[in-house]
Structure 1
Amino acid sequence: MVSQDDDSQQRVALFLVFGLVALVVAAVLFFGVNIGRAGKSAAAPAAQVTAPLAAASEPATPSVAQAASDAASVTVEQGVVKFYFASGKADLAAGASEALADVVKGAQAGRKLLISGFHDASGNAEKNAELAKQRALAVRDALKAAGVAEAQIELKKPEQLTGGGSDAEARRVEISLQ
């Protein structure tokens, strides 16, 4: 037969064990998330094509959600190459030349390339439009470096993104074949 003292001692021991396990799990999650964030912000693309940087009116202190989407990147969706830029920057993401391969082939086959830049409505509209222009020029320069003749490249005036698009969508340049 077990006495009440043994039961209370077992309860205290179990409480301490479960408390310690919960503390370890919380610490692992906390450090894992913070190390993951630090690794993403410290990671820089190996090679970047740069363009002159205009003064940006985009926020200097982005939110945590914005920081996660603030890295330069490039995607190809249904034949359209989309360059996403970091806030206040006109630097192309690493891998830009690989993403341009299909549109360069299209240009070599005689098709025109249309470059469209976008910006959001927050801040100074003139500065945003100028930054969008600098981004489009950086993409144009990458196309020219890949062997596309300037006569085959058409730059469209930067468009202001309205509605519920994300910050990253507002900081993009698209290339499409015409």
Structure 2
Amino acid sequence: MFSQDDDSQQRVALFLVFGLIAIVVSSVLVFGVKHRGVSAKVADAPAVQVVAAPGMAAVPASSAATTQAASDAASVKVEQGIVKFYFASGKADLAAGASEALLDVVKGAQAGRKVAISGFHDATGDAAQNAELAKQRALAVRDALMASGVPESQIELKKPEQIAGNTSASDAEARRVEISLQ
């Protein structure tokens, strides 16, 4: 049989083991939150990459490494006069920096040019759901343009287009909406 001294020694040992486990877990959580907070701030920074085109003002560019690291995050690019909005998987939320990227489009619309919005989706999964999500993304971009003062009569929404491929680069391309001035 066990004596009361053995029971109390076991309790003390268990208390020390559980205390040590609690300290390790809390240390990992605290370090992880601090480390993740820095990563989140970098990931939340506007991931805008710009290739300047004639008539388009430059938008501040972040590093390509940040854009690659946050490949599933929403971002904006301006390439050859076309503003490209990339969306996170399954979402229709605009990226930070969207307003700055739309400035030249808004100016063009104010000068009387029409704005064409084209949505894209991939061939994987349910085609109807993909097309609907592409439409929601295009409408989110349209709403941002209208909020910036572009009349709805100057905005043309094109039917969502399906793209082929299933690499991570084409996944991002499938989750995009393009805006061009006509």
Which position in structure 1 is the counterpart of 2:177?
Answer: 173
Q: Is the 8 A contact 1:45 1:93 kept in 2?
A: no
Secondary structure of residue in 1 paired with 2:141: helix
Q: Is the 8 A contact 1:103 1:176 kept in 2?
A: yes
Q: Is the 8 A contact 1:118 1:161 kept in 2?
A: yes
- Map residues 127-142 of structure 1 onto 2, 5 A cutoff: 127-142=129-144
Count of residue correspondences: 126
Which position in structure 2 is the counterpart of 1:116?
Answer: 118
Question: 1:42 and 1:131 mapped to 2: Cα distance?
Answer: 27
Question: 1:100 and 1:67 mapped to 2: Cα distance?
Answer: 24
Equivalent residue in structure 2 for 1:83, among 74, 85, 110: 85
Cα drift, residue 40 of structure 1: 4.9
Which position in structure 2 is the counterpart of 1:30?
Answer: none
Secondary structure of residue in 2 paired with 1:173: strand
Q: Which amino acid aligns with 2:39?
A: G
Question: So what's the TM-score if we normalise by structure 1?
Answer: 0.64
Gaps of 5+ in 2: 1-34, 47-67
Q: Is the 8 A contact 2:43 2:70 kept in 1?
A: no
Secondary structure of residue in 1 paired with 2:159: strand
CA offsets 1:30-68 (integer angstroms, 9 cap, x no match): xxxxx68x825984468xxxxxxxxxxxxxxxxxxx974
CA offsets 1:117-157 (integer angstroms, 9 cap, x no match): 00000000000000000000000000000000000000000
Secondary structure of residue in 2 paired with 1:87: coil
Q: Which amino acid aligns with 1:176?
A: S
Secondary structure of residue in 2 paired with 1:75: strand
Gaps of 5+ in 1: 1-34, 47-65
Q: Is the 8 A contact 1:116 1:173 kept in 2?
A: yes
Which position in structure 1 is the counterpart of 2:149?
Answer: 147
- State, as a whole percentage, how many aligned pairs show the same letter: 78
Question: 1:43 and 1:106 mapped to 2: Cα distance?
Answer: 31
4+ aligned runs moved over 2 Å, structure 1:
40-46
Cα drift, residue 89 of structure 1: 0.3
Secondary structure of residue in 2 paired with 1:166: helix
Which position in structure 2 is the counterpart of 1:52?
Answer: none
